[in-house]
Copies of this chain bind each other. A is one copy, B any other.
């Protein structure tokens, strides 16, 4: 390497100080910029640091400095396009501020989630972002309330993305998309195309995001003067496999529906597949819409009409909001807008069905 490195042992600030002919205190000030130092002195210190290939020890710094700039984002799995985008947003916004971003994948396991949050407490993360829908039961509420208080007592902030706050007095902040509005809009799109028999596939009772989508779907139906019985919700949960299975079952059972609103794009992928396997065509026989507008949605067959939820923006917003209003932000609730992306999976209800 050709520099003055002392073998394996890391160069410390003391050596930098010695080489620059100043005290450790001055070296520290020049390096960290926490305190003004005359330009000449600073230059000498920086020079010495460069010559020695000095690398600050983040641990020592965090230990004395009390904490460190680190955010953690926790998702079910990194490979889900939606979660990946949110994580990317968090990472980007964190990086913009010089923060470190660590991501944890739980695989949907509450145990691992708890362990990870605990780890983040030990690591001194100042921001923990929990992403993704869950079924809201008592265990969930208790768990999250615990996180919130534990993190709060360590001086860290907790952000919930797309999952509910366990209570009004819990020190956590919620940032999510306006699922009800989005669902209402896309259902309206189907209705205005002439569809009246629209099934919703992908319900997951207790999951607030999906519940809100279902609510929006029902609201849109009501707005069009349809009776509550017109709503048909299949609680098959999320994922491509679930969508495939549920749609196959539905087609087996009845062909009265002219359109399907899939709970998200992966469900829609399964639905499209099921329709194709049944020898039917989208949209001629059945119109399909999804939710989230994942990157590959436009490559579906046919390209999917869906609701765009700018996931990366969600991640960025989470960081921004949490860091903006250090105190007042706690407990607040932020809703992000969405919009419809029209592609080719919807047309007017046709010849073949009701």
Contacts and interface: CB of A to CB of B under 8 A. Distances in A.
A78 B78 contact: yes
A301 interface: yes
A58 interface: yes
Choose among A59, A88, A149 the residue with the greatest number of B CB atoms under 10 Å from its CB: A59
Interface in A32-62: 53, 55-60, 62
Interface string A151-172: 0011100000000000000000
Contact of A59 (B63, B149, B295, B300): B63
Contacts of A78: 78, 84-85, 87-88, 91, 103
A269 B122 CA distance: 44
Contacts of A203: none
A298 to B, nearest CB: 8
B105 A102 contact: no
Given A78-B88, A88-B105, A299-B300, A123 B153 contact: no
A312 B78 CA distance: 11
A81 interface: yes
A150 interface: yes
Nearest to A5: B153
B55 A121 contact: yes
A241 to B, nearest CB: 11
Nearest to A270: B299
Given A63-B57, A63-B63, A155-B8, A299 B269 contact: yes
A273 interface: yes
Given A59-B62, A79-B84, A79-B85, A1 B149 contact: yes
